[in-house]
Amino acid sequence: MARKLYVIGNWKMYKTSREASAYIEALAPLVEGESACVYLAVPFTSIASASACAKETNIVIGAQNMNDAREGAFTGEIAGLMLKEAGAGFVLLGHSERRHIFGESNELIHKKILRAVRDDIQPVVCIGETALQRKSDQTQKVIEEQLVSALEAVPKEALDSLMIAYEPVWAIGTGKVPTLHQIQEIHHFCRQCIAQILGARKASKIPILYGGSVKPENAADIVALDDVDGLLAGGASLNVEAFSAIIRNASKEKTPKKVRKTTIKRVKK
């Protein structure tokens, strides 16, 4: 079983729908035929036009957030079904800006994951520790709590599409990147935690992406790591040349290969 390679761009609150269309028209020919699956998380207002532009391409359009309810009196919120109808194929959930600026808890993120699954939108669940948590040696504890809360009681059928993005909060938008050793260590730890929650077979299949100051220059080295199945780029994805270079560099480095039959050790409690 081969694990695919994914490169996701997160535009945050940038680009109007007109800018989004122009970007996708420019990006599509640059990444056509690359082995990575290319995803773009665009603002709500650009989902419909961006997915129309991306129709005949290998680019999948998604959202950056959604509400956990099917519908209801929630002024200013957006439902998964609305995103789906607009053309979103996936949704980022639990991005650190949602957790830290908008106060989203592990519990709320879990509810959003369940809703995304019911509404047939692929959830990309973001996890990661703050600088303070890393400094006080809490990284593994925080990551484990986030994964347990996110994944427990998620219906089995949902797990074929779910992805995890490990994004250390201190690396997002700062230009700081963990060492390659640190990235592999945490990705492997994530896989061990997932194995404890869902079993080793599922854990070996779930893609785990790295995010945090990814740029064309570090993309290849990061995806070359054993437990890294792709990249999530914020700032660099706003620029067509930079994002296409990330996709090209990552694709060149890691064409899908057989999943290694490594033994996943149990995590000590």
Report how far residue 187's alpha carbon sits from residue 30's, in angstroms, rounded to the nearest whole number. Answer: 29
Cβ nearer to ligand PEP, comparing 19 with 256:
19
Burial of 201 (0-12, 13-18, 19+ CB in 10 A): exposed
Binding mask 200-239 for ligand PEP (x = CB under 6 A): -----------xxxx-----------------xxxxx---
- To ligand PEP, the closest distance from the beta carbon of 61 in angstroms equals 16
Bridge partners (DSSP) of residue 91 are: 63, 123
**Least Å distance between CB 214 and ligand PEP?**
5
167 catalytic? Reply is yes
Strand ranges for the chain from DSSP E: 6-10, 37-41, 59-63, 90-93, 122-127, 163-166, 208-211, 230-233
If the CB atoms of residues 54 and 232 are measured against ligand PEP, the closer one turns out to be 232
Distance CA 16, CA 11 (A): 11
Residue in 95, 67, 84, 76 with CA at minimum distance from that of residue 119 = 84
Q: Which is nearer to ligand PEP, 79 or 236 (CB)?
A: 236
Give 117 or 177: the residue with its C-beta nearer to ligand PEP: 177
Kindly state whether residue 167 participates in binding ligand PEP, applying the rule CB under 6 A: yes
Torsion sign across C-alpha atoms 73, 78, 83, 89: negative
**Of 162 and 236, which has the nearer Cβ to ligand PEP?**
236
Site string for ligand PEP, 72-111 (x = CB under 6 A): -----------------------x----------------
Whether the CA torsion 236, 238, 242, 244 is positive or negative: it is positive
Give the residue carrying structure tokens 């050793």.
181
Question: Across-strand partners of 2?
Answer: 258
Out of 34, 97, 129, 167, the active site residue is 167
Q: How far is the CB of 15 from ligand PEP (least distance, A)?
A: 14
Q: Binding marks (x or -) toward ligand PEP, 145..164, rule CB under 6 A?
A: --------------------
Tell me which residues are annotated as active site: 95, 167
Q: Which residues bind ligand PEP (CB under 6 A)?
A: 10, 12, 95, 167, 172-173, 211-214, 232-236
